Structure 1
């Protein structure tokens, strides 16, 4: 696929189910697409991205070695999802995983009872009728889909948004089921409703970041601003949290974000932020090497990398004029 004017266009789909998934083979397929885009589409390839799995990463590395002007960032929606995975691996998050299982069991049970879903809808309508000044949208119970990275967060967020409605249901409808087995199951599920189901404070910012990063029009400067926001947000949370388990989990997220950044082609991300007139050098104001001279040197080196020719003499002054507005 290629992106142009914020739209994604499919160039080619290749069936490799009967072929070996090697780095060399993937590199060959990418080169064929590069040639097709440059010859038939009259477009110049400047960046290639993929997930960071072993063979994909090796193929991209080979391409960058052969074409050093290529920018090759990892898919940062995937990277942020891996940060979530690193968070779940921390032993202190076991309580959170228990709440996840409870919430998933509750969602599965609620969605299996059409009458219960209807009652939830009626309770919400009644609450809206009683408080017309605070009328809210009538929500439904949604189930997470594994292939959608933000689905679990949204499904659990919906449960929290329905907390008042679920509490009313738990108090009013305990004896709704007809047979003893059903009543026992209903009692078990209704007790889950009364539990403090989940704490989404930790993964909420990551879900927001994935939503930005997976957009077809997400740009390099936005990725770096997102990473900066995440680290800043989790450091603030770290200062607020007194629980050791919370602090261990937050440290795991920050360390994982820094690991993602450490293996990035950092120069192009930094340059993309500087060349956005909304930001320029402001996000780096507290870092000593980001002087006018340092920024000029960085941009001149990128010119050399992309153009394979020395930068024109006028570029130095143009950069200074830009930074000084």
Structure 2
């Protein structure tokens, strides 16, 4: 079926060759579709004359399909093949659902749902919201249908659902939690950290000093001669290293501005030196107009102000722990224990007496409000069931072992709809005291850590618990000792942000561009599904690296307790998603004060709305009893919504200020254990912040010029 030697030399078609048989031709069409998806080639490219010339010359036996066939039946067949592979991976597994909204280049609003199973995110469905109301009832209807679809088509066990904290998502979560108490229904915690930052930005001095710093960066980057003088000042100050870029924040995320002002602070000495020693040249480089000269004098006045640099240092100190927390909580596989440990670390960081009391009060108040609305039982149990932490970080005055056992007992009844037996309690006691099968050796903690380090991978605490499961039937309720294992697996499998949706939207943005803005949402969805499947196949076949640079939370960095290690919240996600070149959030003239106002507005809107806690609300308007039933774990019926409401009424409510045994100057051994626990994710979060800086270097136009 190849070309003759004469055809190869002359480049003329070999008309004597027979066309491919229908099965081969059909497979060619499917494979060509995959090539177009993998390379992100527009579907109409198949009709390009040069492409046809290439095919006639080199594969004359093939009949090239048109764009309708390529993006129609062949794409549909590849989607079906991809979904069959997903079914093989997820059948019978616990799955956490997430849904979020997105607006494409054509201003079409869509709502997409994904499920996360065993550290992998799978795209579920995309709904075109054109003409549909953006209400809680509509969101609830979509979630219900998505749960039904996941259970029927992919045979998974949905254990929970996550949405953002918008009014529609809030109402949908409230009703869903009331009607389905066995689901872990939670808000996106990456968004919650942003709201804490929004509350902090309500202090005017914080936003003002950042805005001033960004103005300095903008001015230098906008004037080539001034930027050259700044680089010369850097070389004089540090002749052994290449000059660093002044990072211009080109995406509307507060962490981009944090990185920008952090870099400026790092370059404070050469920046101030340049202003003093090269002032005349800097003013000349500004331009000839009075307005340009006035702007230059204003910027240089800020640079010359020692108090500005003191205030900028102070603000950077405030924002850095929040930026680290944002990196922890925005990972695509952030668990409940990641969130609570991060909140504890943040609370302790802002308890430092050196911090302005107004700042501490603002951050503490914001965190306490958001924590008070959380389903605290589940977050506490997630930390407790992390075998590297257990109960070591909790303040026993407010959370003794007996209370932890009671919380676990309530959670078992909620999820499995029946009472555990005496063996369940004895197993919990043994787990707390590291006895019987729950010793470090019995759970294989050191082996899991060593294996992860050897493979350059993360520790999967869910897998540690799954290996301890002594039941042959994954759907059977274990009321005794094995019930502890089942409960731990369920709680630690919950994902508490919409990171999977955000990464799916990044893929959508690469597919649906300004030049391809007529693509229908369903076609974009199908293309993304096939693209994700091809990416997974390439990894399995060793054609591309298995992981991008990963988030390392505790595994590769020194901590107070080096022997202890914790699993990563993400296997494949970088610190940030680099947006496509035409992404709507790129704006070289991004106004920080406008961004700060937006964050404050979002935080205020959440406070003004009906701030219901996670879980059932007795006053929630439960309107529909037809929610798809969760696959029953046993013949014992689960609690009714009314029973669930009574159960939730006794839920744990402990302020962050009292929850942990925070260390102090004269810390006891128990407080040192708490310090180790609170630091587990933090060192890796700092590394993530450095990785994020590298990503912003790519995004910032001046970065390449300064190398």
CA distance in 2, matches of 1:25, 1:278: 41
More divergent stretch after superposition (119-128 vs 58-67): 119-128
CA distance in 1, matches of 2:264, 2:362: 26
Tell me what 1:252 maps to: 362
- Kindly provide the CA deviation profile for residues 18-37 of structure 1, in whole angstroms up to 9, marking residues without a partner as x: 21111111011111221222
More divergent stretch after superposition (120-129 vs 303-312): 120-129
Tell me what 1:231 maps to: 347
Name the larger-Rg structure.
2
Deviation, 1:122, is: 4.3
Describe the shift of the 1:271–1:137 C-alpha distance in structure 2 as closer, same or farther (beyond 3 A). farther
Describe the shift of the 1:106–1:18 C-alpha distance in structure 2 as closer, same or farther (beyond 3 A). farther
1:304 maps onto 2:418 in alignment? no
CA distance in 2, matches of 1:187, 1:61: 55
> Which of the residues 192, 201, 204 maps onto 2:317?
201
- Kindly provide the CA deviation profile for residues 138-184 of structure 1, in whole angstroms up to 9, marking residues without a partner as x: 333222532x2422211211211121221232123322225253444
- Kindly provide the CA deviation profile for residues 99-123 of structure 1, in whole angstroms up to 9, marking residues without a partner as x: 1221232222222123333443444
Describe the shift of the 1:251–1:285 C-alpha distance in structure 2 as closer, same or farther (beyond 3 A). closer
After superposition, residues 1-325 of structure 1 pair within 5 angstroms as: 1-89=114-202, 93-129=203-239, 132=240, 135=241, 138-143=244-249, 145-146=251-252, 148-176=253-281, 177=284, 179=288, 181=290, 182-195=292-305, 196-197=308-309, 198=312, 199-236=315-352, 239-241=353-355, 246-291=356-401, 293-325=402-434
TM-score norm. by structure 2 comes to 0.42
Query: Which consecutive unaligned segments of at least 5 residues does structure 2 have?
Result: 1-113, 435-707
CA distance in 1, matches of 2:397, 2:322: 25
CA distance in 1, matches of 2:143, 2:297: 56
More divergent stretch after superposition (165-174 vs 119-128): 119-128
CA distance in 2, matches of 1:137, 1:12: 47
Partner SS state of residue 199, structure 2: helix
Partner SS state of residue 10, structure 1: strand
CA distance in 2, matches of 1:233, 1:88: 18
Query: Which consecutive unaligned segments of at least 5 residues does structure 1 have?
Result: none
CA distance in 1, matches of 2:389, 2:142: 37
Assess if the C-alpha contact under 8 Å between 1:48 and 1:72 holds in 2. yes
Which structure has the higher relative contact order (CA within 8 Å, separation 6+)? 2
- Kindly provide the CA deviation profile for residues 264-284 of structure 1, in whole angstroms up to 9, marking residues without a partner as x: 000000000000011101111
CA distance in 1, matches of 2:242, 2:408: 50
More divergent stretch after superposition (173-182 vs 274-283): 173-182
Assess if the C-alpha contact under 8 Å between 1:27 and 1:59 holds in 2. yes
CA-based RMSD = 2.1
Describe the shift of the 1:287–1:42 C-alpha distance in structure 2 as closer, same or farther (beyond 3 A). farther
Assess if the C-alpha contact under 8 Å between 2:218 and 2:248 holds in 1. no
More divergent stretch after superposition (280-289 vs 212-221): 280-289
Tell me what 2:80 maps to: none
Assess if the C-alpha contact under 8 Å between 1:224 and 1:269 holds in 2. yes
Partner SS state of residue 200, structure 1: helix
CA distance in 1, matches of 2:416, 2:236: 66
CA distance in 1, matches of 2:289, 2:133: 55
Assess if the C-alpha contact under 8 Å between 2:164 and 2:188 holds in 1. yes
